[in-house]
Amino acid sequence: MTKEDVKCLIPAGLDGKADILFGNLEEICLFHRDEFLKDMEACNFHIELVALCFTKRKDAFYKLYSQYCQNHPRSESLRELIGENNAFFQSCQMKLGHKLPLAAYLLKPIQRVTKYQLLLKDLLHYRDNEKTSQDLQEALDCMLVVLKCVNDSMHQIAITGFRGNLTEQGELLLQGSFSVWYESKKDRLLRLKPMQRHLFLYQKAILFCKKTAAHTKATYQFKQCLKMSQVGLTETVKGDSRKFELWLQGRQEVYIIQATTLEQKQSWVNEIKRVLLEQLQELRGEKIRQYSANFAKMRQATSLDTTSQSSCNRSISSDDTRSHPDEDSQASSDYSNSDDEDSFMDHHSGKSLTGKYIALADYDAVGHSEVSMKEGDPVELLKVGCAGWWYIKLAGSQSEGWVPASYLEHSGRKSSRSCQSVSSQASNNTE
Amino acid sequence: MPEQSNDYRVVVFGAGGVGKSSLVLRFVKGTFRESYIPTIEDTYRQVISCNKNICTLQITDTTGSHQFPAMQRLSISKGHAFILVYSCTSRQSLEELRPIWEVIRETKGGANELASIPIMLVGNKCDETENREVSAAEGEAEAKSWGCHFMETSAKTNHNVKELFAELLNLEKNRNISLQLEKKGQLKGTRKLKEKCMVM
């Protein structure tokens, strides 16, 4: 069969739709042929150079593959429409001598991008020194982040009904399914039955969507958008360790959010905290001094708090105000930022803060520069960064990295009952 | 309803290191690799019979994607049958299948539709009796709660491997498929199959 003969077989529905059928496959191919493969070959079996090939191209990987994966469902429905077994596809397959049909090859890039991380993990087993191991770990982290972002970006394309512009909400940080209860002081509406919501956390906003499964494609119907600049976070809710709360206007409106697992909750709480901390950093300045002046008064109120979890919910959150009905709700949103302002003040007042500390709660490192620690781990403070981040070394190990200062307590301190600032306490002790 | 084609697509899921590729390789090539080599190949094929015609059994390996459901969904949407593999020596690997099962359930629609799709929960490495963490009874109970079928296999000793694929194809009610095109003497009738399937 000649080229012309095959051309005659092209179904009408396919004409001019090569870009939908193949997506950016060609771009992916060129990237590998002209850049990635050449780089790999140039490594000449030096593992640390191989690692670098991945690390320095992580943005390209993300861009190419998220585009490819997002297009794939469109390609699939196009093929479904014209039939996988039409004469044109079959004669192409025969002519090219392909053992598998087109669909199998179109799925390959998606299978392949998930495998780089496995190969890197395997390379880690054969590392020859510490430096190589670090480079490989970094490359592995990069590829896992790429996968997570590609994965998340595919959920995002299914959001319907959002009037604003998603690209203006900043980077998509997390997405996942939760049970959500809503309480409002205004209408006294209390729902016993939770709503099932799919949440998308962006740098600037959090979106609540309702998932609707229509045939094979899930869509996320937009319901609610909270600006990150307006929300407060409560990390622990009594009675269920998988719950946390987001609230507006000093708890006028409260969203109680229940994760499916403890890990899911922890990663969301960590990420939300991080976003709020970043906002705080931008806001600091004159306001900090005002807050600190108020802080002394509020500390007395909070030190009465006897919730057992209070030791691990201090950095951004107030304690659950429902357990202190006498507490002014305005105060909770105010002092929610006070810890970090305090450590920030210490940082600038030049006091030395070095010494031994104890981890108050488990902290899961996010990214390469941070370090994970378990509750009760002894650590050594090496330096104080900004926005409440401290650089520490875990006692008895080589691990060093950044952790939120609020997770640390000076090892000289006896009580961990109150939720006052760790750093101010620490400076008392070092005097 | 997916159109009838000459391809029958089986998608294999499971956490890293449970022996997905070993199972598939044992079936396709009759080999077993002692040392663990992470999958590089993604898709395997085997010629089988379907409605008395020759058709290609296409086996898609999803290694590496099990933490990324949206990407996994892309492999699922085209699958006709599914194999969910865990290792009898790791309870964790069984637990990691649950979210995958949920993705399949969501992608493949309602309970009625799902019941007609061949899905097999497979406990591999059943030869490693000393390291066993999941009993056959537990595996079976899990399969029952998911409404799918269950088997224990060992890619290493070639226990139940061919039977797994034969049984999976048996479960397909929409067409009449079998491994009959295989070399002679590999399947000695359905009776033997049934026996093996029940061996716990």
Residue B11 has pLDDT above 90, yes or no: yes
The pair of three-digit structure tokens given for residue A100, joined into one six-digit string: 């598998």
Q: Are A210 and A199 in contact (CB under 8 A)?
A: no
Residue A188 has pLDDT above 50, yes or no: yes
Percent of chain B with pLDDT over 90: 38
Question: What pLDDT score does A27 carry?
Answer: 96
- Confidence class for position A279, pLDDT limits 50, 70, 90: confident
Most confident segment among A135-149, A183-197, A360-374, B20-34 = A135-149
Between helices A130-156 and B69-76, what is the axis angle to 10°?
A: 60
* 3-state SS assignment for residue B148: coil
The overall average pLDDT reported for chain B is: 81
Residue A288 has pLDDT above 60, yes or no: no
Minimum mean pLDDT among A4-13, A355-364, B85-94, B180-189: which range? B180-189
A111·B64 Cβ contact <8 A: yes
B68·A150 Cβ contact <8 A: yes
The pLDDT tens digits for A130-150 are 888 899 999 999 999 999 989
Residue A414 has pLDDT above 80, yes or no: no
**Tokens 């740098």 -> residue:** A203
Backbone angles phi, psi at A227, to 5 degrees: -75, 135
- The count of other CB atoms within 10 Å of the CB of residue A24 is 18
Residue A46 has pLDDT above 60, yes or no: yes
Question: What pLDDT score does A384 carry?
Answer: 77
Residue A33 has pLDDT above 70, yes or no: yes
Q: By CA distance, what is A69's nearest residue in B? A: B71
Residue B142 has pLDDT above 70, yes or no: yes
Residue with the larger pLDDT of the pair B153 and B198: B153
The pair of three-digit structure tokens given for residue A300, joined into one six-digit string: 């007395």
Query: Whole-prediction pTM value?
Result: 0.63
Q: A243-248 and A253-258: which strand pairing?
A: antiparallel
Burial of A406 (0-12, 13-18, 19+ CB in 10 A): buried
B42·A119 Cβ contact <8 A: no
Q: Are A352 and A430 in contact (CB under 8 A)?
A: yes
For chain B, the C-alpha Rg in angstroms (whole number) is 16
Q: Kindly list the residues from chain B whose CB atom is less than 8 angstroms away from the CB atom of residue A122.
A: 38
* Residues 128 through 147 of chain A touching chain B, CB cutoff 8 Å: 147
- Confidence class for position A329, pLDDT limits 50, 70, 90: very low
Q: Does B6 touch chain A (CB under 8 A)?
A: yes
Mean pLDDT along residues A180-196 = 79
The pLDDT tens digits for B154-174 are 999 999 999 999 999 988 887
A85·B65 Cβ contact <8 A: no
Question: What pLDDT score does A12 carry?
Answer: 84
- The count of other CB atoms within 10 Å of the CB of residue A119 is 17
Residue A21 has pLDDT above 90, yes or no: yes
Residue B193 has pLDDT above 80, yes or no: no
Q: Does A216 touch chain B (CB under 8 A)?
A: yes
B109·A216 Cβ contact <8 A: yes
Question: What pLDDT score does B35 carry?
Answer: 63
* 3-state SS assignment for residue A35: helix
Q: Kindly list the residues from chain B whose CB atom is less than 8 angstroms away from the CB atom of residue A83.
A: 3
Q: Kindly list the residues from chain B whose CB atom is less than 8 angstroms away from the CB atom of residue A84.
A: 3, 5, 7
B71·A150 Cβ contact <8 A: yes
The pLDDT tens digits for A358-398 are 888 888 887 777 888 888 888 888 877 766 778 888 888 87
Residue with the larger pLDDT of the pair A42 and B187: A42
A103·B78 Cβ contact <8 A: yes
The Cα–Cα gap between B102 and B108 comes to 10
CA angle A405, A406, A411 (to 5 degrees): 80
* 3-state SS assignment for residue A332: helix
A101·B60 Cβ contact <8 A: no
Tell me how close the Cα of A84 comes to any Cα of chain B, in angstroms: 8
Residue A295 has pLDDT above 90, yes or no: no
All residues at 6 or more sequence positions from A181 whose CB lies less than 8 Å from its CB, including other chains: A191, A194, A195, A255, A256, A258
The Cα–Cα gap between A399 and A115 comes to 28
The Cα–Cα gap between B72 and B94 comes to 17
Q: A217-227 and A159-160: which strand pairing?
A: parallel
Residue A399 has pLDDT above 70, yes or no: yes
Q: Are B85 and B16 in contact (CB under 8 A)?
A: no
* Mutation site, B35, B53, B68, B114, interface A, largest A CB count within 10 A: B68
Q: By CA distance, what is B60's nearest residue in A? A: A104
The pair of three-digit structure tokens given for residue B160, joined into one six-digit string: 């139940």
Tell me how close the Cα of B150 comes to any Cα of chain A, in angstroms: 26
Q: Are A206 and A308 in contact (CB under 8 A)?
A: no
Q: Are A240 and A256 in contact (CB under 8 A)?
A: no
Q: Does A152 touch chain B (CB under 8 A)?
A: yes
* 3-state SS assignment for residue B49: strand
**How does DSSP classify residue A194?**
P
Minimum mean pLDDT among A55-59, A244-248, B75-79: which range? B75-79
DSSP annotation string for B43-85? EEEEEEEETTEEEEEEEEE-TT-TT-HHHHHHHHTT-SEEEEE
Tell me how close the Cα of A320 comes to any Cα of chain B, in angstroms: 32
Closest-CA residue to A102 (of B4, B29, B10, B43)? B43
Residue A25 has pLDDT above 90, yes or no: yes
Question: What pLDDT score does A8 carry?
Answer: 83
Q: Does B180 touch chain A (CB under 8 A)?
A: no
DSSP annotation string for A146-172? HHHHHHHHHHHTTEES--S-GGGG--E
Most confident segment among A80-84, A285-289, A348-352, B47-51 = A80-84
Tell me how close the Cα of B71 comes to any Cα of chain A, in angstroms: 6
- Confidence class for position B7, pLDDT limits 50, 70, 90: confident
Question: Strand order of the sheet with strand B53-61?
Answer: B149-152, B119-124, B81-87, B7-13, B53-61, B43-50, B177-178
* Residues 154 through 173 of chain A touching chain B, CB cutoff 8 Å: 154-155
Question: What pLDDT score does A302 carry?
Answer: 44
Residue type (1 letter), B42: D
- Confidence class for position A332, pLDDT limits 50, 70, 90: very low
Residue B87 has pLDDT above 90, yes or no: yes
Residue with the larger pLDDT of the pair B129 and A319: B129
Tell me how close the Cα of B42 comes to any Cα of chain A, in angstroms: 7
The pair of three-digit structure tokens given for residue A302, joined into one six-digit string: 């909070």
Residue type (1 letter), A349: S
Percent of chain A with pLDDT over 90: 29
Closest-CA residue to A396 (of A369, A360, A356)? A356
Tell me how close the Cα of B5 comes to any Cα of chain A, in angstroms: 7
Residue B179 has pLDDT above 70, yes or no: yes
* Residues 68 through 127 of chain A touching chain B, CB cutoff 8 Å: 69, 72-73, 76, 80, 83-85, 99-101, 103-104, 107-108, 110-112, 114-115, 117-119, 121-122
Cα–Cα distance list, A141 to A122, A365, B110 (Å)? 14, 12, 37
The pLDDT tens digits for A300-318 are 444 443 333 333 333 444 4
